[in-house]
Structure 1
Amino acid sequence: MAIVESVGKIPLQDPPEEEFCAADLTWTKFGNAEHHDEVALIPYDRVDAFIIGECTNVECPTRFHIERGRKRTIGNLKEYKDDEYLEYRLYWCSFGPENYGEGGGILPSRRYRLNTRNRAARPQSMRGCTCHFVVKRLYAQPSLALIVYNERRHINKSGFICHGPLDRDAIGPGAKKIPYICNEIQQQTMSMIYLGIPEENILEKHIEGIQRYCGSDAKVSSLASQYVHKLGMIIKRSTHELDLDDQASIRMWIERNRKSVFFHQDTSESDPFILGIQTEWQLQQMIRFGHRSVVAADSTFGVKRLKYPLFTLLVFDSRQHALPVAWVITRSFTKPDVSKWLKALIDRARSVEPGWKVSGFLIDDAAAEIDLLRDIFCCPVLFSLWRVRRSWLRNIVKKCSNIEIQREIFKRLGRIVYNIWGGINASLALEQFLLDFVDQTAFMEYFKVMWLPKLEMWLSTMRNFPLASQEASGALEAYHVKLKAKLFDDSHLGALQRVDWLVHKLTTELHSSYWLDRYADESDSFQNVKEKYIASTSWHRALQIPDYAVSLDDKDHLFAKVVSQKDSSLTHIVWNPGSEFAFCDCSWSMQGNLCKHVVKVNMICENLKGYQPSMSFRSFQEVLMDLWKKPVDDSFALDLSLAWTHQMLDQIQKQVELNNSTDIGTVVNNMPLKWVSKKGRTYIGKPSSSLALPHGSSNTKSVVVYKKNRKRKRLSRLR
């Protein structure tokens, strides 16, 4: 749009509507290249119609007051420009300019209360709105008015909508009449809206929650209906693009959601971009399920498709499902950068629970900074095979067309991994593998480029660290699959390179999904949501398959058959049973996932002779054997090894007893009683004042006398 320097070149506009607004006018840039404003020229007698039209804005209804005004009389100016004013009035939205909301205050220059017309209904309703425009009645042409719109949007200084239906924090004049809505009900309603549940069902659950506090009332139901409709409209109209520039947009989001950001480092010449997100609910879950338990990591998600990869910290909830408790968006995983946000996260948890401690940290990437994790969490590090298994199986199915070759390649790769404890040279086994399947050019090209250079590092990590169980691996994979389904939907492919879109998806849809899952399980409501949540991992789906549905090849142990629970005429074949690298012909397994049939077959095989133990149990045996190994001489090292072994054995026995017990009272009654002396029980936690004073101090007598006086008073009262 060209910049106009003369009022004479601005077209005069007179819309035919009785009332009109800024959207009905064509705006012109007036001024020069260094400074210009958006202006429109209308008849002066239509100014009131314009102001009324601006007040009736559907998205931000308001009233405008005169913040400042000046007048001149005709003949005062001997020389004047074509834009000089005869009357000057600055109109400001009545929800500003002051901000009486959270973090707001009176303008520093305001020494008195303005006695202006058309102010907002109450001072506390002012939210720092910056929307304002100037009306100039032209000195040269008094019948015309020049409108200069400085800020059209109803936003505060942070750039967020601060009133109206699109404002999430808007209360309105009837706030005292609105029924009580606790955080739990609000989060429940928001989660259902984000998940696309019909509004009728949302309203029904919302009213049920409100009636627990307010009772049954027709007016309450009416207000609840309005609330749900308004909240749905806000969520549907909300967008991740707070600004066209991605960096500016994410800064605005951070400014508004300070409580959900535990670490932020903006991009600079020396520092990479890092954004750590954790909502208050996620913090509660991390403290609850992470204390004295295992914390896991789903690392480097979306390396190829997202602008910045996503790192997720997870805990295992009461059903051992992986629950995301923190997201970190960054491209840098160097030791100094990881140390920054990890320490910030732990400090945040310990500010709420000072004794918060992790018993183990589960990784899925052999390139992770293991020493750093040990130092920060002060716990052992475990390794999960799920990422290796999934990557190999997906590419085998994708790049090899023959199913017999697919299962044989997968079996041979599994054998190479299993031989890390067998003393067999991995290089020779790998060389033979490459020769045997040299005709599978597509897969071999992928394997040589992606895995061959770093395979020794991965095998070394598997050999040197305890391996996670199939249940934990299945839970991590279930989270990964759900995350992928939420983010890589075809409708969002154009937004993958924006950080604000990723943050919006994580904190709205994904967060709401996990919140509703946990709420449905703990409150025993939303039965369909609860059932879907319980069956979201392959381990729990395998528990629904009865043992009689599985038949084994007792002769050669080559395969197992599992009868489908949905269609009894359908049977799935699991090859290489008893191994983490078992191959199933079901559709879920052919997508690279750990299916319920493989898990169920391995559950049965682990108790039978002739089948190799799972890799997690094998690594557990290796740990015990390392502790149990007798030193060459009968030295103190033998005592230390024996003490560690018995300590671990005692903890395992207690854990097994607790898990297998159906009555917690029996476990408590079997615990040994620990008595202390009567004096110790009475004065425990109370420091002795006499011990704190030096011997011979003059204050000692006064202390003793004070105690005697108190005792005499108590005795006198009893008499």
Structure 2
Amino acid sequence: MNILSTKSEYQCSFGPENYGEGGEILPSRRCRTNTRNRAARPQSMRGCTCHFVVKRLYARPSLALIVYNERRHVNKSGFICHGPLDRDAIGPRATNIPYISNEIQQQTISMIHLGIPEENILEKHIEGIERYCGSNVKFNSLASQHVHKLSMIIKRSTHELDLDDEVSIRMWVERNRKSVFFHQDTSESDPFVLGIQTEWQLQQMVRFGHHSVVAADSSFGVKRLKYPLFTLLVFDSRQHALPVAWIITRSFAKPDVSKWLKALIDRARSVEPGWKVGGFFIDDAAADIDLLRDIFGCPVLFSLWRMRRSWLRNIVRKCNNIEIEREMFKRLGTIVYNIWGGTSTSVALEQFMLDFVDQTDFMEYFRVSWVPKIEMWLSTRRNFPLASQEASGALEAYHVKLKAKLFDDSHLGALQRVDWLNVKEGYIASTSWHRAFQIPDSAVTMDGKDRLFAKVASQKDSSVTRIVWNPGSEFSFCDCSWSLQGNLCKHVIKVNTICENLQGYQPSMSFRSFEEVLMDLWRKPVDDSFELDVSLAWTHQVIKSKNLLN
């Protein structure tokens, strides 16, 4: 004998209350409004009396008996109140949806939690639906939406703990005290700051940052995120950039930065009392260098990867002629190189803008974004040692990987919410520097006559050859897709490493910067003078630091 397991009554979502015209509360809307949720809201109710009872059997849980008490979508007066027969109805019509049993639902949820690719989950989900509803193209589309929505809900549940962003952050901080090294709520006097560092990140910071270099990626999300993300990174044994701390804040005022930097260093020294940084890389000329020197007590180096990437990306985006693109990029590189030659930057920029005045889109971007601050960037470039291409490539690889992850999770509201960033880990990426050394020297052919370009044969497809223009320069231009996105590609690095050993090519900017530092030390001392003592002390410090690195 079959026994009923459940008996549930369901009411049409457009009733039984009446919020429409002539109803108790709100008049009908005469225009359609877009909402995230397609289900009827209270003000959408039209007094519909349609309702039914669903009965299920223990013995046959996949079957259900539906008993309609009122099948028609009518109000108490018996008039059609919504739906396709309602002349005043506005918005989407009724839709047939496939039946999804509890078994299918639980199987889908379990597969999402296991991290199985969404394509595979959808395939199994559709197979389950077809057992009950048969094959239907429209049902497959609805199933795809359902799986994607479930996946989104589960992903969000790991960090979006409350609909209110600030409440969600506080809840997350309380649950993850071990991973928070600094937290400051927004107030009238203080800005919001959240510093995140997991136990694993702390270990890597202590291990790879001690007597070595720490770098900053300070530009992520400045234009698009609600709160920009500042990352501190170290370099592992393979010279990959590892994120060892994330700071989420809008404020980079000296008092605020000083607070969280000191908290971070105190945390590292609680594990390793003698922990000390050997050098600090910055990627923003506006950084407070004096503060970094005071807190870390180490030399500060400057990386040009942000400037190079920004210029190349916008040249490719805003110009339509590849010959003009590579010539513009070369000219900008020449302006940067000429800081050692005594050439007036303002004169060189004026000539550059005159020569390419017809490239209106790029020139508008350049005037607005770079002309007001380029003197500051070149001054920092002149006054501080430069980071190598290897280090710059590693920083860029991290930034690009993080950006790709942002766009991958943008459907989770990552652009609007802060708490999306709380759970992001594991941004290690292979760098162009390492990929460049997988290219044999025999694959590179130099232009022996004018030295205008070099050719790099593809290792995967012998019929493909990449051309690198302006070889030997950090502002080389390659025609591969990775380079055309603004990135420092493996072909440019490979060609430049070969050019270092050939006569007639200028040295890299980082090497030229290194020469300037050494020449400056060599010029200053006068025999038996105080300057000699200072230079001697600096020389011993350099030798000591080098021995510690070895």
User: TM-score surpassing 0.5?
Assistant: yes
User: For structure 1, which runs of at least 5 residues remain unmatched after alignment?
Assistant: 1-15, 29-164, 166-189, 200-231, 518-532, 659-719
**Corresponding residue for residue 576 of structure 1:** 470
**Corresponding residue for residue 287 of structure 2:** 368
- 1:193 shift after superposition: 3.5
User: What do the CA deviations read for 1:519-575 (whole angstroms, capped 9, x no partner)?
Assistant: xxxxxxxxxxxxxx5xx1000000000001111122222111111111111111101
Query: 1:499–1:442: structure 2 CA closer, same or farther, 3 Å change rule?
Result: same
Whether 2:441 is the aligned partner of 1:547: answer yes
2:443–2:457 contact (8 Å) kept in structure 1: yes
In 2, Cα distance between equivalents of 1:234 and 1:402 = 45
- 1:300 shift after superposition: 2.7
**Corresponding residue for residue 472 of structure 1:** 391
Q: Structure 2 matches for 1:182-581, cutoff 5 A? A: 193=115, 238-489=157-408, 491-492=410-411, 494-503=413-422, 507=423, 510-511=424-425, 513-514=426-427, 536-581=430-475
| One-letter amino acid matched to 1:607 | N
Query: 1:421–1:17: structure 2 CA closer, same or farther, 3 Å change rule?
Result: farther
Higher relative contact order (CA 8 A, sep 6+): 2
Query: 1:327–1:553: structure 2 CA closer, same or farther, 3 Å change rule?
Result: same
User: What do the CA deviations read for 1:143-198 (whole angstroms, capped 9, x no partner)?
Assistant: xxxxxxxxxxxxxxxxxxxxxx9xxxxxxxxxxxxxxxxxxxxxxxx998498898
- The share of aligned pairs that are identical, in percent, is 79
User: For structure 2, which runs of at least 5 residues remain unmatched after alignment?
Assistant: 17-105, 107-111, 122-150
Query: 1:566–1:305: structure 2 CA closer, same or farther, 3 Å change rule?
Result: same
- 1:277 shift after superposition: 0.6
In 1, Cα distance between equivalents of 2:219 and 2:487 = 18
User: What do the CA deviations read for 1:97-144 (whole angstroms, capped 9, x no partner)?
Assistant: xxxxxxxxxxxxxxxxxxxxxxxxxxxxxxxxxxxxxxxxxxxxxxxx
| One-letter amino acid matched to 2:206 | I
2:156–2:412 contact (8 Å) kept in structure 1: no
| One-letter amino acid matched to 2:240 | H
| SS class of match (2:502) | coil
**Corresponding residue for residue 84 of structure 2:** none
**Corresponding residue for residue 92 of structure 1:** none
| SS class of match (1:362) | strand
User: What do the CA deviations read for 1:295-347 (whole angstroms, capped 9, x no partner)?
Assistant: 00000311111110000011101100000011100000010110111111111
Query: 1:311–1:197: structure 2 CA closer, same or farther, 3 Å change rule?
Result: farther
In 2, Cα distance between equivalents of 1:191 and 1:601 = 45
User: What do the CA deviations read for 1:564-604 (whole angstroms, capped 9, x no partner)?
Assistant: 11111111110111110000011110010000000000101
In 1, Cα distance between equivalents of 2:513 and 2:239 = 21
In 1, Cα distance between equivalents of 2:118 and 2:273 = 39
Query: 1:633–1:607: structure 2 CA closer, same or farther, 3 Å change rule?
Result: same
Query: 1:649–1:376: structure 2 CA closer, same or farther, 3 Å change rule?
Result: closer
In 2, Cα distance between equivalents of 1:22 and 1:355 = 69
| One-letter amino acid matched to 1:540 | H
Q: CA RMSD in A?
A: 3.1
In 2, Cα distance between equivalents of 1:248 and 1:312 = 24
In 1, Cα distance between equivalents of 2:362 and 2:405 = 29
Query: Alignment partner for residue 521 of structure 2, among 627, 643, 647?
Result: 627
- State the TM-score, normalized to the length of structure 2: 0.72
Q: Structure 2 matches for 1:69-88, cutoff 5 A? A: none
1:310–1:327 contact (8 Å) kept in structure 2: yes
Query: 1:264–1:652: structure 2 CA closer, same or farther, 3 Å change rule?
Result: closer
Query: 1:649–1:253: structure 2 CA closer, same or farther, 3 Å change rule?
Result: closer
| One-letter amino acid matched to 1:354 | P
- 1:254 shift after superposition: 0.9
| SS class of match (2:373) | helix
Whether 2:514 is the aligned partner of 1:595: answer no
- 1:495 shift after superposition: 3.9
2:152–2:412 contact (8 Å) kept in structure 1: no
Query: 1:390–1:538: structure 2 CA closer, same or farther, 3 Å change rule?
Result: same
- State the TM-score, normalized to the length of structure 1: 0.55
